[in-house]
Amino acid sequence: MHVSGRNHLDFFIKSPVPRLIQMTADNSYIEVAVAVPVYHTFTYSVPQFLRPFAATGKRVLVPFGQRKVTGYILGPSQSYETAEIKHVLDVLDEHPLFESAMISFFQWISDYYKHPIGEVIKNALPGGLTLYDYDLITITPRGKKVLRSDAINPVERAVLRLLDSGPCRLNHVSRKLKHAVPAALVQSLQRSGYILKSRELRDASIKTRRERFFALADPLPALDRLSKPRKQILGILANQGEVSMSELKKHVPTAARLVRALEKEGYLKMRHKRVYRDPFGEPIRADIPPRLNAEQQKVVIQIVDSLNKGFSTFLLQGVTGSGKTEVYMQVAAETLKRGKSVLVLVPEIALITQMERRFRSRFGERIAVLHSGLSAGERYDQWSRILQQKADIAIGARSAIFAPFSKVGLTIVDEEHDSSYKQENNLRYNARDLAVVRAKLNGCVALLGSATPSIQSCYNAFAEKFVQLNLQQRIENRPLPEIKIVDLRESMGYRGLQRFITPLLQQAIKDTLDRGQQVLLFLNRRGFASFALCQSCGQPQRCKHCDISLTYHQKANAFKCHYCGFSRAATSPCDSCGSSKIRKLGLGTEKIETTVHKLFPNARVARMDRDTTSRKGAIVKLLKGLKDQNIDILVGTQMVAKGHDFPNITLVGIICADLSLNFPDFRAGEITFQLLAQVAGRAGRGSSPGQVILQTYNPEHFSIMAARDQDFNSFYHQEINFRKALDYPPFSRMIQLKISGKDSVLTRKHAQQLGDRCRTLKTSNSSAYSTVEIMGPIESALTKVARRYRWQILLKGRHAKALHQFASELLAENPTVFHNSRVRVVIDVDPVSLL
């Protein structure tokens, strides 16, 4: 079979590599990407006084139409017509925010995802960089002193003199002086310690964790007259060297008061030290790499062998608990030895903390962490540490793919199949794919790992674009859990509790609890009842803004929309007929939790889903509860399926395996298989064997049978045949146009016009576009979300290049074909969800 020409990698191999940019000596004209929705870059001239400060990777303030906007310097301008050129107004950064090596990556993303270059960069940089406007500057005593000397230039003198009469908002300085003052000059004054800049918002959000540490003073005064607890403290320090406050408190509860006195009297020295804690609040100890088993060793050798030999991608398939993370760490260590940096992507925050913990115990402080759970200030700090080369490993969620390393030697994507690598707003990129692209552009190794790899990646391995590696044994040969299927059709006759907590599951829960072990119950739907039916008129209760039925939430006593967040009191009458007789049907995690409570009144039951984890720190608290065995039964959605490692969970119950099978999406089977196999993998990770009870209405569906047998290969072969027969990815590529608007008629018309334009374009160049298929416009499966009516057009093609050229041409024709003020069109390249 001929398989090339239909693959993810082909596109960028053929796309032009953008020029690398060095700033010329005089910086008189620069190329700027502005942070607005336009697809090309602009040339600006740089006034003399700003030239010393202009450099690739810095932000500038530039006039754009009637506005002033932020732009990013991409380098000196190549060609320009001097007539129409506007001036840069200011240079905003003292140091570049990215290196020129990143520009080709940004450019690639902009071309491939059809997203304006300036917005790509804005998306890549840590947020919150616009706080600039609120800076206040104050003169320091040193500044007052230098003002009396002649060590400064006239502009600096003017600024300091102004500040000498009182603090000033930074963006008022130029106006007050009636003289342009570059931000870069202000920054150099600040660096010299002549002025202080305060950022109200940012200062408040930066909180590194610091702790007091104590050590014995040298020389030590006489000990004889000290009280017993004081002697005890000094004894601990004599034994252990430097010890933290929290550690001391464990031994001597009153330590806080005592150390203050001891310090005063010269018995000990104190210093503040930054501390890193694991997500459970425990200090991280350095670890020693374990001896790899034979399988791991083989894999590590093969990857390490490819380091420094150009671009290649490995797909590491290893069952849950087979030691993939250990492989990542050992390959990372080898990469660092070669003077290169490592990027580690993990699908979600709870898992990042787990990965961070293991990497930190191995690599110490060389780690930067990037994810959305950090405040803007914290994220900016992490970003700066990378730029300053204080960190050479970045761990994070999808946005960490933009970490500004100049020399990447390895990109790692853990749980590479996970759909959360796809960003579903603004810049719609897939970080898993970008990890391969970045490796390609850097000529280095990409390592994708999963127990249940995506069909896409497996296909790439099959086509020999990726090198497949396997770990078939769990560490210490722990067996995979035994999976029993329960046919839910047989319990249709049951009423109430027994319908979903079937007798077999109930007995298994009881046995597990009796043994003092923990239970995980999985259901991929939150809430209490998934729909609410009016008993008078028979209508389901729907969201006011979406075409979606509302879910009943018991704790909130409200009907909620899971798409837009709309909420309405459960006591309110039917919105069709006004009747108050509304019946709540179906199930969700909240109902399972309540049911389990009734069946096992002595068990400690907790629930983990989006409703219980919206507060910061809630996830960690739940995970800690599991770890410390303060939770006997955890009920949860797919949040519980991912990667967690809790050795005392020996029973996993899958309440209803079918929910994701019915998604109107060609990936429904893949998603179901991955979810079931992952959740099953949570059982039996410790020394006791695990058991899984999988309840389903479709016991003979191949995704479910393959999950039962943990047989990835048989799943892959069935699924790939299905994809091939219907010409779905990976045999074709897709680009989806998502059309939405608040006016149903206008939106439909716009969708139809856009469809017509697609067809005209296809016929206008039928030879180039013969492989491009245009499907739609059709109304989306979710016809209305958050008051917007939704339509879609799917472009599909066997040849990535033709498909992409088609979309680019469509976009270039006339941008207003796409957007106007009433209807929005979003381009989704390689869509993950077609809803």
Is residue 245 at the binding interface for ligand ADP, with CB under 6 A as the rule?
no
Question: Beta-carbon neighbour count of residue 798 at 10 Å?
Answer: 16
Structure tokens at 295: 């399988």
SS3 691: strand
Q: E-assigned strands of 512-658?
A: 518-522, 531-534, 551-553, 558-560, 567-569, 582-585, 605-608, 633-636, 649-654
Q: Which is nearer to ligand ADP, 542 or 642 (CB)?
A: 642
Is residue 543 at the binding interface for Zn ion, with CB under 5 A as the rule?
yes
Question: 353 is in the binding site of which of ligand ADP, Zn ion, none (Cβ under 5 to 8 A by kind)?
Answer: none
Any idea what the Cα angle at residue 509 is, between residues 504 and 513, rounded to 5°? 150
Is residue 321 at the binding interface for ligand ADP, with CB under 6 A as the rule?
yes
Q: Which is nearer to ligand ADP, 160 or 680 (CB)?
A: 680
Q: Residue 361 Cβ, how far from ligand ADP at the closest point, in Å?
A: 10
Residue of 546, 675, 683, 692 that binds Zn ion (CB under 5 A): 546
Cβ atoms of 640 and 522 within 8 Å: the answer is yes
Is residue 317 at the binding interface for ligand ADP, with CB under 6 A as the rule?
no
Nearest-angstrom CA–CA distance, 91 and 596: 61
Residue type, 655: I
Question: 537 is in the binding site of which of Zn ion, ligand ADP, none (Cβ under 5 to 8 A by kind)?
Answer: Zn ion
Question: 321 is in the binding site of which of ligand ADP, Zn ion, none (Cβ under 5 to 8 A by kind)?
Answer: ligand ADP
- Kindly list the strands in the beta sheet with 168-169, ordered across the sheet, starting from the edge strand earlier in the chain: 168-169, 136-139, 195-198
SS3 274: strand
Is residue 37 at the binding interface for ligand ADP, with CB under 6 A as the rule?
no
Pairing mode of beta strands 67-76, 59-64? antiparallel
Cβ atoms of 327 and 299 within 8 Å: the answer is yes
- Kindly list the strands in the beta sheet with 633-636, ordered across the sheet, starting from the edge strand earlier in the chain: 482-487, 691-696, 649-654, 518-522, 633-636, 605-608
Structure tokens at 601: 């009144």
3-state secondary structure 357-413: HHHHHHHHHHEEEECCCCCHHHHHHHHHHHHCCCCCEEEECHHHHHCCCCCEEEEEE
Q: Residue 627 Cβ, how far from ligand ADP at the closest point, in Å?
A: 13
Residue of 325, 411, 589, 703 that binds ligand ADP (CB under 6 A): 325
Stretch that binds ligand ADP, among 63-71, 73-81, 288-296, 769-777 (CB under 6 A): 288-296
Residue of 7, 56, 110, 296 that binds ligand ADP (CB under 6 A): 296
Q: How far is CA 656 from CA 531, 575, 582, 705, in A?
A: 16, 30, 25, 14
Nearest-angstrom CA–CA distance, 599 and 476: 36
Question: 612 is in the binding site of which of ligand ADP, Zn ion, none (Cβ under 5 to 8 A by kind)?
Answer: none
Cβ atoms of 248 and 323 within 8 Å: the answer is no
Compute how many residues bind ligand ADP; rule: CB under 6 A.
Answer: 15
Q: Residue 106 Cβ, how far from ligand ADP at the closest point, in Å?
A: 32
Nearest-angstrom CA–CA distance, 799 and 807: 13
Query: Could you tell me the end-to-end alpha-carbon distance of the chain, in angstroms, rounded to an integer?
Result: 32
Is residue 151 at the binding interface for Zn ion, with CB under 5 A as the rule?
no
Q: Residue 320 Cβ, how far from ligand ADP at the closest point, in Å?
A: 5
Q: Residue 505 Cβ, how far from Zn ion at the closest point, in Å?
A: 33
Q: Radius of gyration of the chain from Cα atoms?
A: 30
Q: Residue 657 Cβ, how far from ligand ADP at the closest point, in Å?
A: 22
Is residue 674 at the binding interface for ligand ADP, with CB under 6 A as the rule?
no
Q: Residue 556 Cβ, how far from Zn ion at the closest point, in Å?
A: 15
Residue type, 80: Y
Cβ atoms of 675 and 660 within 8 Å: the answer is yes
Question: 747 is in the binding site of which of Zn ion, ligand ADP, none (Cβ under 5 to 8 A by kind)?
Answer: none
Q: Residue 325 Cβ, how far from ligand ADP at the closest point, in Å?
A: 3
Is residue 323 at the binding interface for ligand ADP, with CB under 6 A as the rule?
yes
Structure-token match 């967690």, residue found? 644
Stretch that binds ligand ADP, among 322-330, 489-497, 692-700, 714-722 (CB under 6 A): 322-330
Q: Residue 520 Cβ, how far from ligand ADP at the closest point, in Å?
A: 16
Is residue 475 at the binding interface for ligand ADP, with CB under 6 A as the rule?
yes
Binding map of ligand ADP across residues 588-627, x = CB under 6 A, - = no contact = ----------------------------------------
Question: 828 is in the binding site of which of ligand ADP, Zn ion, none (Cβ under 5 to 8 A by kind)?
Answer: none
Stretch that binds ligand ADP, among 1-9, 93-101, 323-331, 807-815 (CB under 6 A): 323-331
Question: 320 is in the binding site of which of ligand ADP, Zn ion, none (Cβ under 5 to 8 A by kind)?
Answer: ligand ADP
Is residue 415 at the binding interface for ligand ADP, with CB under 6 A as the rule?
no
Is residue 318 at the binding interface for ligand ADP, with CB under 6 A as the rule?
yes
Is residue 292 at the binding interface for ligand ADP, with CB under 6 A as the rule?
yes
Q: Which is nearer to ligand ADP, 320 or 335 (CB)?
A: 320
3-state secondary structure 52-86: HHCCCCCEEEEEECCEEEEEEEEEECCCCCHHHCE
Question: 504 is in the binding site of which of Zn ion, ligand ADP, none (Cβ under 5 to 8 A by kind)?
Answer: none
Q: Residue 435 Cβ, how far from ligand ADP at the closest point, in Å?
A: 17
Is residue 324 at the binding interface for ligand ADP, with CB under 6 A as the rule?
yes
Residue of 151, 301, 537, 812 that binds Zn ion (CB under 5 A): 537
Q: Which is nearer to ligand ADP, 99 or 645 (CB)?
A: 645
Q: Which is nearer to ligand ADP, 235 or 290 (CB)?
A: 290
Residue of 46, 88, 534, 825 that binds Zn ion (CB under 5 A): 534
DSSP type of residue 414: T
Residue type, 206: I
Compute how many residues bind Zn ion; rule: CB under 5 A.
Answer: 14
Largest CA distance in the chain: 98
How many helices, marked H, and strands, marked E, lie in the chain? 26, 34
For 447-473, letters b (16+ CB in 10 Å) and e give bbbbbbbbbbbbbbbbbebbbebebeb
Question: 710 is in the binding site of which of ligand ADP, Zn ion, none (Cβ under 5 to 8 A by kind)?
Answer: none
Is residue 532 at the binding interface for Zn ion, with CB under 5 A as the rule?
no
Binding map of Zn ion across residues 560-599, x = CB under 5 A, - = no contact = -x-xx-x-------x-xx-x--------------------
Cβ atoms of 549 and 532 within 8 Å: the answer is yes
Is residue 762 at the binding interface for ligand ADP, with CB under 6 A as the rule?
no
Residue of 43, 107, 320, 382 that binds ligand ADP (CB under 6 A): 320
Task: List residues binding ligand ADP (CB under 6 A).
Answer: 290-293, 296, 318, 320-326, 475, 645
Task: List residues binding Zn ion (CB under 5 A).
Answer: 534, 536-537, 543, 545-546, 561, 563-564, 566, 574, 576-577, 579
